[in-house]
Amino acid sequence: MADQTLPISGSVDVTPPHAAAGTFLERLHGWVVTVDHKKLGILYVVYSLIFLLVGGAEALAIRIQLMIPGNHFLTAATYNQFFTMHGTTMVFLVGMPILFGFANYLVPLMIGARDMAFPRLNAFSFWLTALGGLLLYFSFIGGPGLYGMGAAPDVGWFAYAPLTAHVFSPGNGTDYWALALIVSGFGTLGTAINIVATIISMRCKGMSLLRMPLFAWLMLVVSALTLVTITPLTAAQFMLLIDRYLGGHFFDTQAGGSALVWIHFFWIFGHPEVYVLVLPAFAIANEIIPVFSRKAIFGYPAMVAASVGIAFVSLGVWAHHMFTVGMTSVSNAFFVLSTMLVGIPTGIKIFNWLATMWGGKIRFATPMLYCTAFVFQFLIAGLTGIILSVAPWDWQLHNSYFVIAHFHYVLVGAIVFNIFAAIYYWYPKVTGRMMSERLGKWNFWLFLIGFHVTFDTMHFLGFLGMPRSIYTYEPNRGWNGLNMVVSIGAFIQGVAALIFVYNLVWSYFHGEVAGNDPWDAWTLEWATPSPPPDYNFATDPEVKSRRPLWDLKHPDDPDWKYE
């Protein structure tokens, strides 16, 4: 076997590293003009992490304001801007770009390709996304509002009509919001097309669809889902701009238009969007849990089927966000049942992860800690989701902090936890150095404690009737203590996030040298040097099973005999 793993002579870059580096300007130029999927992947992730800190700071400002009743830390107007920007930032400038960043970096490596299907489209998509983010934040300084002040959008992340009409939202805040999301939406569409084409058309020899790592499978599902998810939002945003700029009447109730149409269009995007965000988190767990349990993933075909199933079902549940607008009981019943249906494929997944861990030789390194917490937190998030899917229950709790707690359990408890897991897991591949485990443990436990202090408590605020989006409350409502606890938890999470950033930077310079395969993993990206060279693979790999590196390490007992 040995001679076949040697690279073809002349195909390997033998330039000494310091000669390749160049001056600072040359390197910067290299990053700006790059079409390499790995560099673009890193750009996506760094861009998202910066906005994660920004969005996190906004959340902290919100929590300071709500810490005590009658607080004057933020004005009502600023508070509206902050929660709008927090939501928009976290979904569009953090969640999607970071997960597409992981896909960008990892999918070609995992399927044995040298780059994405369309490298230039890839760069174009990233810069569109980046422009969208800048456009959104430029509104703070550049959108002359009512009194010539900077005017960030303040209509909530779902921007319900008719609040977005010119009469109710003068100034340009709403326009920045719509334009930023249209621009970054096209970036997202470009990346989704690219990932689909890469996975279908660029797989190495022997990598049949059912031999792909589950990460690649889920990214295929996510990208296909993105094609029909982000586009309805883009269409609705165009309608909004037509209303605002050309005097159209799509959402203008005075001229026969309907505010309900916007709500439908928004959630036709908004619900599948949750799955666009959470399926990549599943994808990460699918890679990490087997490696740290020292077992192949349990129920691979079931995992694939469940993912495809989730994608399809998620397209037919959007109106569970709309039980309180007054639909017919038939539609209510339909959306209650379709929403509950999502519980079946997600349940299958949770059982499969547990079955993968069951009897395994589990090693609780930081990535595995995060993934383990993810499984249980996602279970709870799913259960509160099923509670909320019951229409009468939703009538009671709609737009209360119970809903906020539920979806933050998904977005933070599942997605952010797995984003951390992924960074701890693949950082050695990207930089060549391990992240500090000691700091990693601090990071994990503080974040875990902060998370539960904040979001477990928030459920009770919801039961006690505290509505979302209010900038302050009266002291006699019985919400004081709980709000204080929620805010304290938020600050614990903030400290954990700072430790994480410190760990990222510290490990880059002082981390232990990782080598090619520090976790003894099985997918193709670990067959390349860390960091991988520009061309990824000197010779095109060929695979015979789902775990090509297992086959390589255990020629006496290869997987392909059993698949």
Partner 1 sequence: MSAIPTVPELQDQPWHLPSRGRIGMLSLIIGESAIFTIFVVAYVFYIGKSLSGPTPGQVLEVPIFNTICLLSSSITIWLAERRIERNEIKAFGLWWGVTIALGVVFLVGTGLEWYKLIYHDGLTISTNLFGTTFYSLVGLHATHVVIGLAMLLLVLVFTLMGRVTEHHAERIQVLALYWHFVDAVWVVVFTVVYIVGR
Residues binding Cu ion (CB under 5 A): 271
Binding partner at 139 among Cu ion, partner 1, none, C-beta below 5 to 8 Å by kind:
none
- The Cα 60–Cα 499 span in angstroms is 16
Binding partner at 271 among Cu ion, partner 1, none, C-beta below 5 to 8 Å by kind:
Cu ion
Binding partner at 206 among Cu ion, partner 1, none, C-beta below 5 to 8 Å by kind:
partner 1
Nearer to Cu ion, 385 or 532 (CB): 385
Bridge partners of residue 467, in order along the sequence:
400
Under 8 Å between Cβ of 273 and 229? yes
Nearer to partner 1, 250 or 409 (CB): 250
Q: Where does residue 321 rank: exposed (0-12), middle (13-18), buried (19+ CB within 10 A)? A: buried
- Could you tell me which of 7, 4, 150, 152 has the C-alpha nearest to residue 528? 7
Residue 433 dihedral angles phi and psi, to the nearest 5°: -130, 150
Nearest-10 crossing angle of helices 259-293, 366-389 = 140
- The Cα 144–Cα 398 span in angstroms is 34
What token pair was written down for 248?
């159209």
Q: Which own/partner pairs from 170-175 qualify as long-range (CB within 8 Å, at least 24 positions apart)?
A: 170/145, 170/146, 171/143, 171/144, 171/145, 171/146, 172/139, 172/143, 172/144, 172/145, 173/81, 173/139, 173/143, 173/145, 174/240, 174/244, 175/143, 175/241, 175/244, 175/245
For the bound state, the minimum distance from the C-beta of residue 541 to partner 1, rounded and expressed in Å, comes to 5
For the bound state, the minimum distance from the C-beta of residue 232 to partner 1, rounded and expressed in Å, comes to 5
Question: Contact residues for partner 1 (CB under 8 A)?
Answer: 4-7, 117-118, 121, 189, 192-194, 196-198, 200-203, 205-206, 223-224, 227-232, 234-236, 238-239, 242-243, 246-250, 255-258, 261, 265, 268, 516, 524, 527-529, 537-539, 541-544, 548-549, 551-552
Nearer to Cu ion, 39 or 271 (CB): 271
List all residues 6 or more positions away from 110 whose beta carbon is below 8 Å from its beta carbon: 212, 213, 215, 216, 523, 524, 525
Nearer to partner 1, 202 or 488 (CB): 202
- Work out the angle at residue 358's Cα, subtended by the Cα atoms of residues 354 and 364, and round it to the nearest 5 degrees: 85
For the bound state, the minimum distance from the C-beta of residue 151 to partner 1, rounded and expressed in Å, comes to 24
List all residues 6 or more positions away from 415 whose beta carbon is below 8 Å from its beta carbon: 95, 277, 278, 280, 281
Nearer to partner 1, 159 or 499 (CB): 159
For the bound state, the minimum distance from the C-beta of residue 451 to partner 1, rounded and expressed in Å, comes to 35
Binding partner at 306 among Cu ion, partner 1, none, C-beta below 5 to 8 Å by kind:
none
User: Which residue's C-beta sits nearest to Cu ion?
Assistant: 271
Binding partner at 258 among Cu ion, partner 1, none, C-beta below 5 to 8 Å by kind:
partner 1
Nearer to Cu ion, 314 or 493 (CB): 314
Nearer to Cu ion, 271 or 408 (CB): 271
Nearer to partner 1, 11 or 399 (CB): 11
Distance of CA 530 to the CA centre of its chain: 25
For the bound state, the minimum distance from the C-beta of residue 203 to partner 1, rounded and expressed in Å, comes to 6
Binding partner at 128 among partner 1, Cu ion, none, C-beta below 5 to 8 Å by kind:
none
For the bound state, the minimum distance from the C-beta of residue 294 to partner 1, rounded and expressed in Å, comes to 20
For the bound state, the minimum distance from the C-beta of residue 190 to partner 1, rounded and expressed in Å, comes to 9
If DSSP codes are grouped into helix, strand and coil, which group holds residue 554?
coil
Binding partner at 132 among partner 1, Cu ion, none, C-beta below 5 to 8 Å by kind:
none
Under 8 Å between Cβ of 313 and 272? no
For the bound state, the minimum distance from the C-beta of residue 526 to partner 1, rounded and expressed in Å, comes to 9
